[in-house]
Amino acid sequence: MQKTVHSIAELRARIAAWKQAGERVAFVPTMGNLHRGHLHLVERARELAPRTVASIFVNPMQFGANEDYAGYPRTLEDDSRQLEAIGLDLLFAPKLTEIYPRPLADMTQVTVPELSAVLCGVSRPVHFSGVTTIVAKLFNMAQPDVAVFGEKDWQQLVIIRRMVADLDFPVEIVGVPTVREPDGLALSSRNGYLSAEERAMAPALYATLRATAGRLRTGERDYAALEAEAKTRLEAAGFRPDYFEIRCSDSLRQPTSADVDLRIFAAAWLGRARLIDNLAVVLD
Ligand code: PAF
């Protein structure tokens, strides 16, 4: 049966007992308000190790001053029931002061430069330092053998892989493909911010990624023109685009015409929801 713990000491005690018994531990960090995409991460974690741990913590350090930290949906009871139903072993749901005992500005931070400064990092300059700081702390607390992250946040996944490599964390990072609604919309907690009318418009984001991927596959290489056209298409569909960029999938650098392992990244506002999505394009 799933157990919920709120302190680092309880978390460590439970995990230490499993490790002493020789059991591997897979970890899924989340901010809660779980949807099928999160549950899919936990299901993948269960395939990777006999013991699974998830965390639910809405991390203030990764929200900018004018972002949705205060209003971010907190649904711990419902989340906990869903996790129990799919066989999670341990849920870590710490209070704010357990994680940040001092004012945020006084806490040590972990930053992955360069990769954190592009794409979402341009309009959300503090976001990725907040993510890497909390993930580093959670890794130190839980000491998992493997940790699972969704590919919808591809930039986050690349940044966490780099942090793990640079800081020698003994943890394997596994990415899990994006779970989508039947009309293509990527599952996200922020989809809950959409009105019925906006929800009907939202699939245009993925449709635009797919259209651009099709153009790349037929040989077009004027990336700037493709990006500009995609933004116009998103505006016509009712979005306020933040960015639409074609990049190299793992380095996130701008591609030359010789690069083949590409990924298209988009972030766009629809009402009060900022939606992000990405699509891999591997050229022959
Ligand atoms: O992807 C998320 O939900 C968050 O960024 C994470 C990794 C749980 C860190 O707070």
User: Is 156 a member of any domain?
Assistant: yes
Ligand 1 site, CB within 6 A: 29-31, 59, 62, 131, 134-135, 153, 156
pLDDT beyond 90 at 271: yes
Q: Whose CA is nearest to atom 5 of ligand 1?
A: 131
158 and 74 in one domain?
yes
CA of 283 to the centre of ligand 1 (A): 31
And the tokens for 132? 């890497």
User: Is 184 a member of any domain?
Assistant: no
Q: Regarding beta strands 261-270 and 273-282, do their DSSP bridges make them parallel or antiparallel, or are they unpaired?
A: antiparallel
Asked if residues 264 and 246 have their Cβ atoms less than 8 Å apart, the reply is yes
Instruction: Work out the average pLDDT over 32-46.
Output: 98
159 and 71 in one domain?
yes
210 and 125 in one domain?
no
Q: From the alpha carbon of 58, which atom of ligand 1 is closest?
A: 10
Helical ranges in the chain per DSSP H: 8-20, 36-48, 76-85, 96-99, 120-123, 127-142, 154-167, 196-201, 204-217, 223-236
| Alpha carbons 139 and 132: distance in angstroms, whole number | 10
Domain end among 141, 176, 211: 176
Per-residue pLDDT tens for 92-106? 999 999 999 999 999
Q: What range defines the domain where residue 234 resides?
A: 189-282
Residues in the chain: 284
For a substitution probing ligand 1, which of 133, 153, 174 has the most ligand atoms within 8 Å of its CB?
153
CA of 197 to the centre of ligand 1 (A): 28
Asked if residues 119 and 155 have their Cβ atoms less than 8 Å apart, the reply is yes
Catalytic positions, please? 38
And the tokens for 41? 């991460």
pLDDT beyond 80 at 55: yes
Q: Is 10 exposed, middle or buried (0-12, 13-18, 19+ CB in 10 A)?
A: middle
Pick left, alpha or beta for residue 238 (phi over 0 → left; psi -120 to 50 → alpha; otherwise beta): left
Q: What is the pLDDT of residue 284?
A: 87
pLDDT beyond 80 at 1: no
Looking at the chain, the number of H-run helices and the number of E-run strands are: 10, 9
Q: What is the pLDDT of residue 2?
A: 80
170 and 49 in one domain?
yes
79 pLDDT tier (thresholds 50, 70, 90): very high
157 pLDDT tier (thresholds 50, 70, 90): very high
pLDDT beyond 90 at 226: yes
Q: Whose CA is nearest to atom 3 of ligand 1?
A: 30
CA of 282 to the centre of ligand 1 (A): 27
CA of 127 to the centre of ligand 1 (A): 10
DSSP3 helix / strand / coil % (the chain, rounded to 5): 45, 20, 35
Per-residue pLDDT tens for 162-200? 999 999 999 999 999 999 999 999 999 999 999 999 999
User: Is 277 a member of any domain?
Assistant: yes
208 and 70 in one domain?
no
Pick left, alpha or beta for residue 168 (phi over 0 → left; psi -120 to 50 → alpha; otherwise beta): left
Instruction: Work out the average pLDDT over 27-33.
Output: 98
